[in-house]
Amino acid sequence: MASPQWPKADKRLHIGKPYDRLDGPIKSTGQAKYAYDVNVPGMLYAKVFPSRYALADVNSIDTSAAEAMDGVKAVWIDEGVLGKEVRYVGQIIAAVAAETEELAAEAIALVKVDYTPKEALIIDTDPSLGSGRPSEREEGTPAEAFEAADVVHEGYYGIPVITHCCFEAHGQVCDVNEAGAQFWPSTQNVSKYANGMGESLGVPESEIKVDCQVMGGGFGSKFGHDKWGVVGGLLSKKAGRPVKLMLERDLELMVGGNRPSAYGTVKVGADKDGNVTAIDAKLFGTGGNGGYRPPPVPYVFTKIPNQLSSGQRIQTNRGGQRAWRAPGHPQGCFITMAAMEDTAAKLGMDALDFFKQNLALTNRPELYAQELDIAADMIGYKEKAHLRGDSGDGPVKRGLGISIHQWGGAGHPSECDVSIHADGSVECRIGTQDLGVGTRTCVTMVLAETMGLPMDAVKANIGNNAYPISGASGGSTTIGGVSSSTRLAATAALNKLLDVVAARMGEDALSLEASNGRIQVTGDDSKSVTWNEACAMLGTNSINERGVNEPGESTKMGLMDSGVGGCQMADVSVDIETGVVTINEMVAVQDCGLIIDMKTATTQVHGGLIMGVTYALFEECVYDNRTGRMLNADMEFYRLAGLKDIGTLKVHMMTGPGFDERGVIGLGEPPVISPGAAISNAVANAIGLRVPELPLTPDRVLNAIAKGGQS
């Protein structure tokens, strides 16, 4: 009999090996069909009319000229804003569907909206403009602790609003009629994409079919069907034709979601030996017109005995925030780690010594100690490290920076069906999605591993809401969820097969195993049949078994777990005459329990580092304070890192005893949390002063140098 527990290291056929993504070739050769690539017969193209004002009353919306245009097949108006307010530039007020994309754009240009503009709040850097009372928290006796501290550092830190900037914009192709609907969206949430859509579309939700085989990035911004999903559906229904509605880049950046800003002053108290005793963080920031939760400060060093913190929300007339890969963590991490490093510098201590000195204030001191040592070796810390600012005479200064981070990563609820057919074929069906990270590949590996078969002998069917429900891909919950449900279903199906084979072979099913394409008496291939012979015994039947991942149960069984820690170090060069920061090297050390596919796990960390370098050096939403327009809503001035900007990336995954037996833990968020902090700390180490805000653009670096630092 097969047990659902993960096999021990010496028994693993696929798990833990570095496998290429199964859909890599179709993606790299352009055969993969993203939502944007879906073209169905009779399809119309939709364009939306965005608000020109950040805050205005909408007095009237006149679409008559657009409607009268040849080729325009359906027009939609947001009755909800008529006579009411629009609250940010880019808010969708109307939409049209036409025979061609160009006609749709022309028709949109004919829409007339009469507004009464009002004074809007755009800037997010003035806490006095906050709405409501700040949240406040106190632990211990911070006032006394600061009084008693040998050293008190106080600094200002800031991290602006950035966006998800998905390469594939939000949107979908859909075909809606009275009887039902088909959606091809770009989504992180196939199983539940259609939830809440039925009423708006006048179609039973049970009749809404959703398919998303590949998608071009979500990062937390694509959980729902969104307004444009409903608008596309209504246009389709009205026109009686399929409709493609994808956001264009400017709207993608303005309304497709963003990461809240976080600014504020942080005070850290320590004794002369470098033990941190107190922290006080007064933070503020904006989630645009959406919600805002202050980032967690202190971050990771949560056991600092005396703490004070407050968070003030500034509600601005800008697009709303959405979960951005590890919500709150990159901000909390940057602010905490920068303040910690500044404290070390004030004490004249080496940053690595200082971090290690204070690991008892974290939840996993031993893990971080181990990871810091590995990272230090990888980056050559001993040879390269110097105290802050002690970096030679020339204009180019080099420095190292450190950061540590944490995440949960427990698997989400997930269901999976596995079928074994008499011809030997094996498949699973699971309503999950592959955001590009390798979910399809990992599900296939788990299925093949369980059956003792090669990868090409099994097939994973994902990305369709007709399959058993699996959770949304967010919060690093996917891999734990889908690997557990797939493992449970596959084990159950295999055991059904073992029962059949045992009866035929006259063996006890408990003594049988699947190994290397055979069903055999455990450890004895002289008593065996091939996989195909075994399946042929099913005759005209198939085996179909469902696996249900109930996270609590699976955690008890050791299939999955939660709680990871990671460490990153950055080696940077800063030209103090130009302000240009160059990444020489980034090192990431990360645990995530049992790793299914070593290659996709490693590349997930690479991706986190690249995204991290990007927000550390380049990304920010620049808004005009008067018009509320995002000035860089394009790929020209909303800069992303290119290959030459990211330096050398080195990744070490913590595996083996102590890690593997924990089961599978998610990895999507952790690697993107630390880069901003590590890079900012490295820049401070290089140039001898803190550049207080990210991104570390040449202007910010030169301004900080001109001011001589903040303290």
Partner 1 sequence: MQDFEYTAPTSLEGVIGLLSETWGETEIYAGGTDLVTCLKQGLTAPRRVVSLRNVKELKGITILDDSIEIGAATTLTTLLGNAELAKHATALIQAIEGINSKQMINVGTLGGDLCQRPRCWFYRNGYGLFGIEDGKSLIEDGDNRYHAIFGNDGPAKFVSASSTGPALIALGASLIVSGPEGERTIAAWDFFQTPQSESDRETALKSNEVLTKIIIPKNETQSATYEIRHRAGLDWPYVTASVAIGKEGTKVVLGHVAPTPWVSDAAGKALNGRVKKADAEKAGEVAAEGATPLSQNAYKVAMVKTAVKRAVLRATGQEEEA
Q: How far is the CB of 248 from partner 1 (least distance, A)?
A: 9
Minimum CB distance to partner 1, residue 582 (Å): 8
Contact 572, 507 (CB under 8 A): no
**Closer Cβ to partner 1, 88 or 618, answer by number:** 618
- Bridge partner list, 72: 98
Contact 488, 416 (CB under 8 A): yes
Smallest distance, Å, CB 551 to partner 1? 42
Cβ proximity of 300 and 406 under 8 Å: yes
Q: What are phi and psi of 335, to 5 degrees?
A: -65, -45
Smallest distance from partner 1 to CB 43, Å: 21
Q: Which two tokens stand for residue 168?
A: 């594939």
Q: Quick one: which of 226, 212, 283 has its CA closest to 257?
A: 226
Alpha carbon separation from 432 to 412, 422, 439, 451, 465 (Å, rounded): 11, 26, 8, 21, 8
Nearest to 304 by CA among 334, 270, 330: 270
440 is written with which tokens? 């399809």
Nearest approach in angstroms of CB 466 to partner 1 is: 39
Residue (of 106, 191, 652, 132) closest to 377 by Cα position = 652
- The nearer residue to partner 1, 563 or 698, going by C-beta atoms, is 698
Q: CB burial class (10 A; 0-12, 13-18, 19+) of residue 235?
A: buried
Span interacting with partner 1, options 13-21, 262-270, 328-336, 699-707, rule CB under 8 A: 699-707
Site track for partner 1 across 569-608, x = CB under 8 A: ------x-xxxx----------------------------
Contact stretch for partner 1 (CB under 8 A) within 307-315, 417-425, 665-673, 694-702? 694-702
Smallest gap from residue 319 Cβ to partner 1 (A)? 16
Q: Which is nearer to partner 1, 70 or 636 (CB)?
A: 636
- Judged by CB under 8 A, which stretch of 460-468, 472-480, 678-686, 691-699 contacts partner 1? 691-699
Smallest distance, Å, CB 105 to partner 1? 7
The answer to whether 281 and 298 have CB atoms below 8 angstroms apart is: yes
Pick between residue 27 and residue 639 the one whose CB is nearest to partner 1.
639
Q: Is the peptide bond before 698 cis (omega within 30 degrees of 0)?
A: no
Please say whether the beta carbons of 439 and 601 come within 8 A. no
Distances (CA, A) of 67 to 49, 100, 340: 14, 14, 60
399/547 with CB nearer partner 1:
399
Nearest approach in angstroms of CB 687 to partner 1 is 14
Q: How many residues of this chain bind partner 1 (CB under 8 A)?
A: 38
Backbone φ and ψ for 504, nearest 5 degrees, come out as -70, -40
Select 360 or 635, whichever has its Cβ closest to partner 1.
Answer: 635
* φ/ψ (deg, to 5) at 395: -70, -20
Min dist. Cβ of residue 626 to partner 1 (A): 6
> Smaller CB distance to partner 1: residue 157 or 618?
618
Binding mask 98-137 for partner 1 (x = CB under 8 A): ----x--xx-------------------------------
Nearer to partner 1, 198 or 698 (CB): 698
For partner 1, the closer of residues 549 and 614 by Cβ is: 614
Residue (461 or 573) nearer to partner 1, CB: 573
For partner 1, the closer of residues 443 and 689 by Cβ is 689
Interior angle at CA 53, CA 52 and CA 56, nearest 5: 130
**Could you tell me the smallest distance in angstroms from the CB atom of residue 624 to partner 1?**
5
> What is d(CA 393, CA 640) in angstroms, rounded to the nearest whole number?
31
Min dist. Cβ of residue 698 to partner 1 (A):
6
State the Cα–Cα distance between residues 334 and 572, nearest whole angstrom. 17
Minimum Å distance from CB 98 to partner 1?
14
How near is the Cβ of 636 to partner 1 at its closest, in Å?
7
Q: Which of 179, 523, 699, 708 binds partner 1 (CB under 8 A)?
A: 699
Nearer to partner 1, 458 or 574 (CB): 574
CB closer to partner 1 out of 160 and 424: 160
- Considering only residues 384 through 403, tell me which ones interact with partner 1, judged by CB under 8 A: 394-396
Identity of the residue, 362 or 573, whose beta carbon is nearer to partner 1 in the bound complex: 573
Piece of 1-9, 204-212, 214-222, 698-706 that binds partner 1 (CB under 8 A)? 698-706
- C-alpha–C-alpha distance, residues 181 and 614, integer Å: 39
Tell me the C-alpha to C-alpha distance, in Å, between residue 455 and each of 29, 110, 374, 443.
21, 55, 33, 10
Q: CA-based angle 137:141:144, to the nearest 5? A: 135
**In 3D, which of 551, 531, 511 has the Cα closest to residue 666?**
551
Closest CB to partner 1 among residues 47, 322 = 47
- Give me the 671-690 binding string for partner 1, x by CB under 8 A, dash otherwise: --------------------
What is the per-residue binding string for partner 1 in 47-86, x denoting contact by CB under 8 A? ----------------------------------------
Applying CB under 8 A, among 133, 526, 552, 706 the residue interacting with partner 1 is 706
- Tell me the per-residue interface mask from 608 to 647 with partner 1, x by CB under 8 A, - otherwise: ---------xx---xxxxxx-x-xxxx-xx-x-xxxxx--
Counted residue by residue, the chain has a size of 711
For residue 46 the two structure tokens come to: 């939709």
Please identify, using beta-carbon distances, which residue of 108 and 501 lies nearer to partner 1: 108
**Amino acid (1-letter code) at residue 583:** I
Helix (H, G, I), strand (E, B) or coil at 42: coil
Q: Are strands 458-462 and 581-591 parallel, antiparallel or unpaired?
A: unpaired
Please give the Cα distance from 711 to 709 (Å, whole number): 6
Peptide bond into 695 cis (omega under 30): yes
CB of 30 to partner 1, least distance (A): 17
- Are the beta carbons of 412 and 445 closer than 8 angstroms? no
Segment interacting with partner 1, rule: CB under 8 A, options 179-187, 460-468, 594-602, 695-703: 695-703
Q: Which residues of 144-163 are buried (b: 16+ CB within 10 A; e: fewer)?
A: ebbeebebbbbbbbbbbbbb
Find the helix or strand (DSSP H, E) in which 63 lies: none
Q: Does 370 bind partner 1 (CB under 8 A)?
A: no
Closest CA to 71 of 95, 50, 98: 98
Give the nearest distance from C-beta 92 to partner 1 in angstroms: 18
Number of Cβ within a 10 Å radius of residue 136: 11
Q: Which one among 135, 542, 703, 710 touches partner 1, defined by CB under 8 A?
A: 703
Minimum CB separation of residue 102 from partner 1 in Å reads 7
Is residue 164 classed as helix, strand or coil in its secondary structure? coil
Of 455 and 576, the one with the shorter C-beta distance to partner 1 is 576
* Shortest distance (Å) from residue 656 CB to partner 1: 37
- Could you list the residues that contact partner 1 (CB under 8 A)? 102, 105-106, 394-396, 575, 577-580, 617-618, 622-627, 629, 631-634, 636-637, 639, 641-645, 697-699, 702-703, 706
